[in-house]
Structure 1
Amino acid sequence: MKIKKTQISFFPFLLLCVFFLLTLSFCTKAESPKQDYGVFLGIGGNTGIEGKDEETLQKLKKYRMVVLEPSNFSPEQIREIKAEGTKIYGYLNIGALENFRPYYEDFKKYSLAPYENWEEEYWMNVSNPQWQDYLINNLGKQYAAMGLDGFFLDNTDIYYQYPNEEIYQGLKTILSGLKQYSLPLILNGGDTFVQKSIEDGNALSLFDGVNQECVFTKIDFTKPAYLSQDKESKAYYEEYLEKAKAAGLSVYLTEYHANSELSQEIEQYCKENGFLWYNAESLELK
């Protein structure tokens, strides 16, 4: 009888333990905080691999804000990710042209020079009216209609490559045109153009924020390898980002393969300044 009694009292206890563990697991998962910011230009929602599409979408839902290549996703997938409270900024390369774009053949005649370290890419003449019109009234319109929360605009560094008034005004025309969609614009890089815009007093009328790569890290493209940024460059970028912040612009950082010690330093720097940052595992941004 003692054995029976022990068995009878044991099972409710066992069930209670299982229930407690399941509840704890569920709560831990449910309360897991979203990460602030991620840049994922190397992934898409339409992989064609069974199960992979859903895995990608679930990964993106873990962030409060992500940057994606819009052509890699359907409007339905964009809506699904946003339904989880994730803001989506769409990548748009305004200062350069990649040879894998479907519109490459139509616009390569407006390119200026090859893009160093990126064999498939060419700097573009942003003052060209046809290029401006396509970015604003075709790609901009198409991507805005997908329900994006903003644009992530790359390669305003063209003004560093060609620091003349024609290129400067060309960039202003493109940015002003994209403003018609009433979406925030974040410029990736482009520190020379950004500082010129701040000096001219028109930065906030043209764009809303900046993302700077490699403030604390740098890339050796010959390997590639991921290293710590040199002190001089780091100091320059920190001073530049302070100017951007003082001008009222939001600030984001994208670093590459920062180790745990460096990540703590970046995290502290961003907390002190109200910036967001993403630690990319590799150049592929997957």
Structure 2
Amino acid sequence: MRKPLRFFLFPLPLLLLCLLCLHLFRPAPAANSKPYGVFIGLETADLKRLRPYRTVVIEPSSFSAEQIKTLQAEGKSVYGYLNLGSLENYRPYYERFASLTLAPYENWLSEYWVDVSSPAWQTFVVDELGGTYAALGLDGFFLDNCDVYALYPHEDTFNGLTTMLRGLSRYQKPCIINGGDVFVSACIENGSARTLFDGVNQESVFTKIDFAKNRYAAQDAETRAYYLDYLTRAKEAGLKVYLIEYRPTAKLAAEIQDYCEKNSFTAYNANGKELR
């Protein structure tokens, strides 16, 4: 026999008391919560460094799926670093692709620009690295060194980068292009930017690294103006805009924050070029 439905009336005072308790005892946001941080040089022993950040960029080869899941359970979006345009000599696959290197990467002694027009490199980045990193449960990709197009501004370089970006789209994860202003500008001009990636990150807009003297300083006015114009165009094209700045003074940090708030940009002020 089918039982009749029963409706229970919850006493109003008790209901109000429960709602008040939920409000009083819900987890409060961290007082020093920060929107964005890039930590591709971070050791997993230093995970506490990520605690205040809501969106973080990590080196996925150093993390397990369980660690990424733990970060996400804390309310973070986790992006994984993926190098499209250069090859580091400390990677386990360096010897496999060393023949594709083009030239040393200025100021980074362990790194070389790579021939992105190579189908072997494209397949490796998309299928092997992209597939492995996507399986970790990352929320998105942080894609580096599309600047190879600025050094080798050829059609096959451009096509190689777009081939990899289209290939990575199969994982249905948002992509942020780090640097690569010449490549990104070309994509904006031909109308393909929003179909290939979701945002751009630009380093050293307000600050710069003096590699020769191993120190940090304010960016020159001409370079700053160039990057701000580029980032404005990126925003107008519908792209999210992120910045990485290096050890700005307190005064400059306030200027960066004010500019980003007015323009809906997101900035991270890094302690150093190692991004730890």
TM-score (norm 1): 0.86
Partner of 1:99: 89
From 218, 221, 229, give the equivalent of 1:228.
218
Partner of 2:274: 284
**Equivalences for 1:110-125 in 2 at 5 Å?**
110-125=100-115
How far residue 58 of structure 1 moved from its aligned partner, in angstroms, is 2.7
Conserved? CA contact 1:57–1:77, under 8 Å: no
| Aligned partner letter, 1:220 | D
Secondary structure at 1:132 match in 2: helix
Conserved? CA contact 2:87–2:112, under 8 Å: yes
Moved over 2 A (4+): 26-31, 56-59
Partner of 2:19: none
Q: Deviations over 1:203-237 (max 9, x none)?
A: 00011100000000011110211010000000000
Query: Which of the pair has more CA radius of gyration?
Result: 1
Conserved? CA contact 2:30–2:52, under 8 Å: no
Conserved? CA contact 1:159–1:192, under 8 Å: yes
| Aligned partner letter, 1:42 | G
Please say which of residues 28-37 and 234-243 is displaced more in the overlay: 28-37
Q: Tell me, in whole angstroms, the C-alpha distance in 1 between the residues paired with 2:87 and 2:153.
A: 19
Structure 1 residues 170 and 28: CA distance shift in structure 2, 3 A: closer
How far residue 277 of structure 1 moved from its aligned partner, in angstroms, is 0.5
Secondary structure at 1:85 match in 2: coil
Q: Deviations over 1:116-164 (max 9, x none)?
A: 1111100011010000000000000000010101000000000000001
1:36 maps onto 2:32 in alignment? no
From 165, 181, 184, give the equivalent of 2:174.
184
Partner of 2:98: 108
Conserved? CA contact 1:252–1:277, under 8 Å: yes
1:82 maps onto 2:72 in alignment? yes
Unaligned runs of at least 5 residues, structure 2: 1-24
Secondary structure at 1:42 match in 2: coil
Conserved? CA contact 1:41–1:285, under 8 Å: yes
Conserved? CA contact 2:86–2:114, under 8 Å: yes
| Aligned partner letter, 2:37 | G
Q: Deviations over 1:15-63 (max 9, x none)?
A: xxxxxxxxxxx99986524210000011121xxxxxxx3xx22321321
Q: Tell me, in whole angstroms, the C-alpha distance in 2 between the residues paired with 1:30 and 1:93.
A: 33
**Equivalences for 1:188-267 in 2 at 5 Å?**
188-267=178-257
Conserved? CA contact 1:67–1:91, under 8 Å: yes
Structure 1 residues 191 and 31: CA distance shift in structure 2, 3 A: closer
Identity of paired residues, percent? 55
Q: Tell me, in whole angstroms, the C-alpha distance in 1 between the residues paired with 2:33 and 2:138.
A: 19
Q: Would you say how many aligned residue pairs link Structure 1 and Structure 2?
A: 252
| Aligned partner letter, 2:73 | A
Q: Tell me, in whole angstroms, the C-alpha distance in 2 between the residues paired with 1:277 and 1:59.
A: 17
Partner of 1:17: none
